[in-house]
Structure 1
Amino acid sequence: MVELIFGQVLWFAADPMAEGASAARHERRGAVAIEEGRIADVGTADDLRARYPQATMTDMGDKLLSAGFIDTHVHYPQTAIIASWGKRLIDWLNTYTFPEEMRFADPAYAAAVASTYFDLALAHGTTSMCSYATIHPASVEAFFAEAQARGLRALAGRTCMDRDTAPEGLRDTAQAAYDESKALLEHWHGRDRLSYVITPRFSPTSTPDQLLALGSLWAEHPDCLMQTHLSEQVDEIAWVKSLYPQARDYLDTYETFGLLGENGVYGHAIHLEPREVARLREVGAGLAHCPTSNTFIGSGLFDAAGLAGAGLRVGLATDTGGGSNFSMLRTMAAAYEVAQLRGVALHPAQLWYLATTGAARLLRIEERVGNLAPGMEADLIALDLASTPVIAQRVARAEDFWESLFPTIMMGDDRAISAVWVAGQRQV
């Protein structure tokens, strides 16, 4: 049975980071047809009503229909410690992150946090995400079990750390990292809508032996993504240089051990050297832009426009809980503010793309989710573009669609999310 959902509709025909707002498509009175969990059609309301006369109909009025948001870099185990006061990255990890992650040895605790995390993500319109877990297999099991139960397209991996720079309760070994990651991969990767991601936390918490073991695992399963952190803070980069004195730069600590490739997703990537940018572009790797985290922990200003213009795939991320909000709307607002500080005003079309289609491209799932097009999985959201009085009064003065969308990007939150569909089933 076909369901028609009516409202304003926004989708992308091309990449607005390269082509500007003309890459986007907006239908003022449009519709999306859903059949058996997939998008069957997108177009004007009149055309789809005539094409599917027997369809059930859901009219969202002036709400904006879009692909669901995709969070490209999140630490679901940090859900409970979001917005914790801190100084710099290493202090923040030692004070909040590592003690909290030790609790995930308890499967019941991991399951409870996973449930809370997905409740919050969906309430904010996020329908897919790529998460780090902890070293505990139970943390991965909890994440995937909860995502599977909700029918979500989700990605995650066991976080690996074996160097004594990590606390004793969160250290494994090179062999354990390989064996347990492989077992989880073989069990979960490609199951329903789930994907396993090979996950060294970052080179300062892994020995060369562990990085080599994970590089070998990736070589055996090149269809998997590999995620890690790269050049987040200047003092972190100095730390890496002290631990890997032979490396040409931070990226080289991954490349040397087989952890640089087209399916690599590198979080933060703020303070890149020219050689690093060239190598990332050459291999086709992608970057997760975490603007609320980068400002909250004082890391720096990511060059979204410049790196995308150089041909790198870029997607937005909350980086929960170093990031200070679960909302991809707030993340878009922070990305706009960071770009302004770099002298670039990102267009609303570009911001929306980075949180949807661009994010899907980064995670190599753009043929499944992240846009509204026939054949895509029906993960979509409906947004109220006048969700608060302050937004509504600004929208009343808007002269075009982008001017009516931008206030929600800058001031919207979960109150703007009117409905969420996952694989065609309404969740919110």
Structure 2
Amino acid sequence: MSTVPPTLQAYRASLLHFHADPAFHDDAHAWHRDGLLIVEAGRVKAAGDYAALLPTLPAGTVVTDYSGKIICPGFIDTHLHYPQSDMIASPAPGLLPWLETYTFPTERKFDDPAHARATAEFFLDELLRCGTTTAMVYCTVHRASVDAFFEASEARQLRMAAGKVLMDRHCPAFLRDTAQQGVRDSEDLINKWHGHARSMYAITPRFAPTSSETQLRLAGELAAAYPTTYIQTHVSENAEECRWVRELFPAQRSYLHVYEHYGFMRPRAIFGHCIWLDDTDFARMAETGSAVAVCPTSNLFLGSGLFDFEKADSVHTLLSLATDVGAGTSFSMLQTMNEAYKVARLKGSYLPALRMFYLATLGAARSMQLEGTIGNFAPGAEADFIVLDPQCTPLLARRTGHLESLEELLFALALLGDDRAVQATYAAGTLVHQRNN
């Protein structure tokens, strides 16, 4: 007589996940209309058709029934700022005045560990409510902001990347570190948090104008010394910002080349925005294994510009989607898909819903060099997944009541869905959010 291992769980629903990019492969996804996801000890054991997998379960296994809903991998948000949760939806005529008026004064408060922890708790709960289980997160210049974030994320068993912002010029004195001290603090935090539980460290120069050449050089050396860490920063977000970078770094070919010059372009490097990159820049992104975090919501909010999906795809640049809270106005990756679709149309291209869901799951995992760990339901992957409810609102229920394809179903969720569409969120096989009906 077989017994059920105490760590074995099974979930019945429609299953969706990816094994390739739909932009380049006709058969890129797996879809099981009546599916079963089997999880053991926090990892995926199997995913497939319910009828085929049910007989493989030990007698007495409890199956959590989400019939009528969709289980997919947890969303991965590759660029956002947890300290900016309190200043989301703040008006400003552009990026640089927005930083001066709202961002810097808000981040000043994060030298207080209690404030940092309270904000991190709220931020992570909001991500989970929206179905995001992994994120690339900017903290502030304060070490306490990083400690508070990882303490809160590890309490929820989340796989998160985050880092202390490096900023030693062109910013208020109350947020300014030094080239040497900022990198020393970063190295201490790497040794404390990187690879601890599910935490990953990201070396985080805010953007080239706020780091001296000495700080950029030292940060590049730190990245070379710790090759499994991440690098995250901003590039080519705003036309005025790009002009400023040309004035500050006249010897470099482009804004992106500033980062390449200091050793930042490599696998596990995630560059936010990338709106004003040229063909050479995109080619270098692809050649170095660097990745783009596309931030459509914040780019529209600040009037920064429209990302060129076709140009990036022409050289197979690694792409992912990101909310960029707090310039982004929603924590929801579904709402971010909504804006990404519109950006692509305005730029003259088209994003199918399958591609958008790929970019928010496996595409992001590939950008972070984490395929096989998160992002799909490959056997052995960590069991981060969400349950989406296509009938969560009267409008979605009406629209999804007459569908002709999976593409239509996903498109309706992307264009009409938000946090209400997330019925439940699981991290490493543990329920960490459930919607109150």
TM-score relative to the length of structure 1: 0.98
Question: Displacement, 1:250?
Answer: 0.4
Contact 1:30 1:42 in 2 (8 A): yes
- Equivalent runs, 1:349-428 vs 2, <5 Å: 349-428=354-433
1:14 to 17, 20, 23: 20
Question: Displacement, 1:133?
Answer: 0.5
* Structure 2 residue identity aligned to 1:119: D
Contact 2:205 2:216 in 1 (8 A): yes
User: 1:217 aligned to 2:222?
Assistant: yes
Question: Displacement, 1:19?
Answer: 1.6
Alignment partners' CA distance in 2, 1:311 and 1:95:
38
Question: Displacement, 1:53?
Answer: 3.6
User: 1:59 aligned to 2:65?
Assistant: yes
Contact 1:289 1:304 in 2 (8 A): no
User: 1:160 aligned to 2:161?
Assistant: no
* Structure 2 residue identity aligned to 1:239: W
CA displacement 1:294-347 (0-9 Å, x = unmatched): 101111111124313411110110001010100000001111110111122211
- Equivalent runs, 1:25-424 vs 2, <5 Å: 25-54=30-59, 55-163=61-169, 165-424=170-429
CA displacement 1:18-58 (0-9 Å, x = unmatched): 125x3111111001001100010001111111110432210
Alignment partners' CA distance in 2, 1:299 and 1:319:
13
Give structure 1 stretches of 5+ with no counterpart.
Answer: none
Percent of residue pairs bearing the same amino acid type? 44
Alignment partners' CA distance in 2, 1:156 and 1:304:
26
Please give the secondary structure, in 1, of the residue aligned with 2:64.
strand
Question: Displacement, 1:279?
Answer: 1.6
Question: Displacement, 1:391?
Answer: 1.3
Please give the secondary structure, in 1, of the residue aligned with 2:277.
coil
* Structure 1 residue identity aligned to 2:320: G
Question: Displacement, 1:243?
Answer: 1.1
Contact 1:72 1:129 in 2 (8 A): yes
Contact 1:305 1:344 in 2 (8 A): yes
Please give the secondary structure, in 2, of the residue aligned with 1:278.
helix
Alignment partners' CA distance in 2, 1:403 and 1:60:
21
Contact 2:265 2:289 in 1 (8 A): no
Contact 1:88 1:297 in 2 (8 A): yes
Please give the secondary structure, in 2, of the residue aligned with 1:16.
coil
CA displacement 1:107-136 (0-9 Å, x = unmatched): 100000000001100000000111011000
Deviates more, 1:125-134 or 1:272-281: 272-281
Contact 1:30 1:43 in 2 (8 A): yes
Please give the secondary structure, in 2, of the residue aligned with 1:92.
helix
Give structure 2 stretches of 5+ with no counterpart.
Answer: none
* Structure 2 residue identity aligned to 1:130: M
* Structure 1 residue identity aligned to 2:13: G
Please give the secondary structure, in 1, of the residue aligned with 2:25.
helix
Deviates more, 1:207-216 or 1:253-262: 253-262
Contact 1:18 1:309 in 2 (8 A): no
Question: Displacement, 1:278?
Answer: 2.0
CA-atom RMSD in angstroms: 1.0
Cα distance, 1:229–1:341 mapped onto 2, change above 3 Å: same
Contact 2:309 2:349 in 1 (8 A): no
Please give the secondary structure, in 2, of the residue aligned with 1:19.
coil
Aligned length: 426
Contact 2:372 2:378 in 1 (8 A): no
Contact 2:267 2:369 in 1 (8 A): no
Please give the secondary structure, in 1, of the residue aligned with 2:63.
strand
Contact 1:17 1:305 in 2 (8 A): no
TM-score relative to the length of structure 2: 0.96
* Structure 2 residue identity aligned to 1:64: I
* Structure 1 residue identity aligned to 2:104: F
Please give the secondary structure, in 1, of the residue aligned with 2:24.
helix
Deviates more, 1:418-427 or 1:273-282: 273-282
Alignment partners' CA distance in 1, 2:54 and 2:183:
53
User: 1:24 aligned to 2:29?
Assistant: yes
Contact 1:17 1:309 in 2 (8 A): no
Question: Displacement, 1:85?
Answer: 1.3
Alignment partners' CA distance in 1, 2:333 and 2:372:
21
Question: Displacement, 1:61?
Answer: 1.1
- The 4+ residue runs of structure 1 with deviation greater than 6 A are none
* Structure 2 residue identity aligned to 1:172: D
Alignment partners' CA distance in 1, 2:351 and 2:89:
26
* Structure 2 residue identity aligned to 1:242: E
CA displacement 1:192-233 (0-9 Å, x = unmatched): 101001110110000000000101101111111111101001
Alignment partners' CA distance in 2, 1:421 and 1:305:
34
